[in-house]
Amino acid sequence: MVTCSKCQSDKVRPIGPDYSDFIIYRCSDCGRDSIIWRAKTHSLDSFPAQFWCILGVECVRHSNTPPQSIEQALWQMSGDDWTKMVESLFANTYQLSSTVGVEQIMDIIKKTNTCTNLDFPVEVWINKDFKIKVYK
Ligand SMILES: [Zn+2]
């Protein structure tokens, strides 16, 4: 949520043009203008193949260690999170979450091709609402 940098009011609205890197908000309580920087995102192009899938992942699928690949992070999602994600991604097709596989979600991640940061842990976007973390 955006709040005023002077009085912390949430009665702020964007003014002026929509710049790609930032937006200027004006507070209707105190009149202060605040610059809100947009989060910059990155593509996944610079990561090696292991970032997507680690060989021998079969034995670590259900491990409690932090996931070291996108595939592993998907296998480790809780059933509730998986269901919510599938319902969001396939909202128009009424696909059952049990019929959607990790490979399908990996294809969606390839198309989204977005992460929040390049340092580990890397936050990988499935879509704008669902993100997973990959650890070193
Ligand atoms: Zn204010």
How remote is the CA of residue 37 from the centroid of ligand 1, in Å?
17
Considering only CA atoms, which of 92, 96, 85 is closest in space to residue 125? 85
Question: Residue 18's pLDDT is what?
Answer: 64
How remote is the CA of residue 85 from the centroid of ligand 1, in Å?
36
How remote is the CA of residue 41 from the centroid of ligand 1, in Å?
29
How remote is the CA of residue 17 from the centroid of ligand 1, in Å?
20
Band (28; pLDDT cuts 50, 70, 90): very high
Question: Does position 59 have pLDDT exceeding 70, yes or no?
Answer: no
How remote is the CA of residue 8 from the centroid of ligand 1, in Å?
6
The pairs formed by 64-69 with CB atoms below 8 angstroms and a separation of 24 or more are 66/121, 66/133, 66/135, 67/132, 67/133, 67/134, 67/135, 68/134, 68/135, 68/136, 69/134
pLDDT tens, residue by residue, 110-135: 999 999 999 999 999 998 889 999 99
**Range among 16-20, 74-78, 93-97 rated most confident:** 74-78
59: Cβ contacts below 8 Å, ≥ 6 apart: none
Instruction: State the DSSP code for 94.
Output: T
How remote is the CA of residue 112 from the centroid of ligand 1, in Å?
36
Q: What is the pTM of this model?
A: 0.69
Give the mean pLDDT of the chain.
86
How remote is the CA of residue 21 from the centroid of ligand 1, in Å?
22
Question: Residue 125's pLDDT is what?
Answer: 94
What is the end-to-end Cα distance of the chain in Å, rounded? 31
Question: Residue 47's pLDDT is what?
Answer: 95
